[in-house]
Structure 1
Amino acid sequence: MFGEHELKTKFIKVGDKKIHLLEESENLVRYRRDDVERIIKNNGEKLRVLPAPATGYGVRLLMVKFKEPLIVPPHDSLTGFIEAPIEIDVKVGGLSVDHFIVGREKYALYGSLEAGVICRYHVSPFYAKEPGSIGVAKLIVSNPSPDWKSLERVVIPISGTPMYYESTKAYYPLLIVTIKDHSPEVNNTGKAPREGLNMVGEGLSLPNFLMRW
């Protein structure tokens, strides 16, 4: 699925979507996905299927609501995983020839009607071990305060984020959520959640996001 593919007749299944490559001549390949078609001249370059952040119509934030709130003791932390929506970027060389969404596309307002922003939205369980979903994020939830804390959702900065992948799964960078008073702070570290993954983009940390609402 993710990674490089030779430009020859084949099917590439990506989540609930299917890419069809069809050799029409010695050096021409037809690319087809749903109602999208391209004619690509084959010069030996490979087609790359890569994960992209779920920015949808240009949103900068992804809000993931936990199915069950997390309860973290004082001066303690919790590490786990959540499912996270992704998008797919298909490239030849440096050119993007297709970009699409896998799964259902949902949005929600984060904040008040007067000052809130539209986010990509998803509901996920919190997993102690990595789930089998196509899109995954690893979270470290830290509570440095002297009080017990509850966390019902996480709002993740995703505009310009790097992504990581292996053959069948995509990952957001490691996320560190620090619960400060009543406003958790989210750090998209830009770092791989584990070793052995391929990277798309630059592994740089994004500015921290303070969850005021």
Structure 2
Amino acid sequence: MRYVKPGSKLRVGVVEVVRDKGLLTIKDPYSRLEYLVSDDLEVSLLPVPPIHVPLKLSKYLYIKIRNPVIVGKDLDLWVKVPYELAVVVNKELVGVVTPFKVKHILHGNVVDGLVCRYYESKAYSGEPGDVGIEALAKVRVVTNGKPVVLKYVIVPAENLIFYEVRGRYYYEVLRSRRTPVGFFADLTRLPPVEEGVEVARPNPLSSMHVFRGYLTTVRWASWAP
């Protein structure tokens, strides 16, 4: 969790936050939020699933693995993953912004395929140290005794739990399994590291709709090849 104190400036990826003289300004490439906020109120930024900006098109996150992994037996891998930031004023959710450029991809065919938020990462055999602002996810690859070539994993992200350790964010452990239509992850509700502290979920994020103008949506919609 990040706090925005009066008179402070903060930058997280492409998100810029300024709180000065009672005015709170938060912007990313897709929106600009401005509020008059008195100095006695607490302003915080909380990590939330990366599916709300610039428009909630899907509940799924598609993680493409740049270095495909061949797995013979069950194995834990690590990947770098995105998140969005909920803007919370005294426990009241007022908006959502993203530190990362947004792309989407269609998994499957145009009739019954899945539209997913798209992100790329290398796979790591252990927890990487050079993370930057990205979050980390531990992916438990389940093979059921058959060799697996893992090139991507699709995460049902809407109810994803976040953990925090010394300012670094983590997803809950993801359990990847092969299905007839691709590799999907189950949410396990397990912390990926022992010292992980669960991040409180803003309320009412589940019912929030982020509205953008038509021209904004057309301008910023980007589809991964």
TM over 0.5: yes
Give the drift of 1:106: 0.4
Matching of residues 31-42 of structure 1 within 5 Å: 31-34=24-27, 35-42=32-39
Task: Name which of 76, 83, 87 aligns with 1:86.
Answer: 83
Whether the 8 Å contact between 1:161 and 1:201 is mirrored in structure 2 is: no
The structure, 1 or 2, with the larger RCO (C-alpha pairs under 8 Å, 6+ apart) is 2
Gap change, CA 1:32 and 1:103, over 3 Å in 2: same
Matched residue count: 191
TM-score with structure 1 setting the length: 0.80
Residue 61 of structure 2 is matched in structure 1 by: 62
Give the drift of 1:98: 3.1
Instruction: Indicate the SS of the match to 1:41.
Output: coil
Identity over aligned pairs, percent = 22
**Aligned residue identity for 2:23:** R
Gap change, CA 1:182 and 1:95, over 3 Å in 2: closer
Q: Which moved more, 1:108-117 or 1:7-16?
A: 7-16
Task: Name which of 11, 16, 33 aligns with 2:9.
Answer: 11
Is structure 2 residue 100 aligned with structure 1 residue 103? yes
Whether the 8 Å contact between 1:141 and 1:179 is mirrored in structure 2 is: no
Residue 143 of structure 2 is matched in structure 1 by: 143
Residue 211 of structure 2 is matched in structure 1 by: none
In structure 1, stretches of 5+ residues that fail to align are 203-213
In structure 2, stretches of 5+ residues that fail to align are 202-225
Deviation digits for residues 128-184 of structure 1, max 9, x if unmatched? 232314222111112122x32212110001012222224532221110113468854
Give the drift of 1:84: 1.2
Gap change, CA 1:135 and 1:168, over 3 Å in 2: same
Deviation digits for residues 11-48 of structure 1, max 9, x if unmatched? 122223221111x2xxxx211123432111233x4222
Residue 206 of structure 1 is matched in structure 2 by: none
CA RMSD in angstroms, aligned pairs only: 2.2
TM-score with structure 2 setting the length: 0.76
Residue 178 of structure 1 is matched in structure 2 by: 177
Gap change, CA 1:41 and 1:170, over 3 Å in 2: same
Whether the 8 Å contact between 2:14 and 2:98 is mirrored in structure 1 is: no
Higher strand share: 1
Residue 46 of structure 2 is matched in structure 1 by: 50
Which protein is bigger by CA-based radius of gyration? 1
Instruction: Supply the distance in 1 between the matched residues of 2:75 and 2:87 (Cα, whole angstroms).
Output: 35
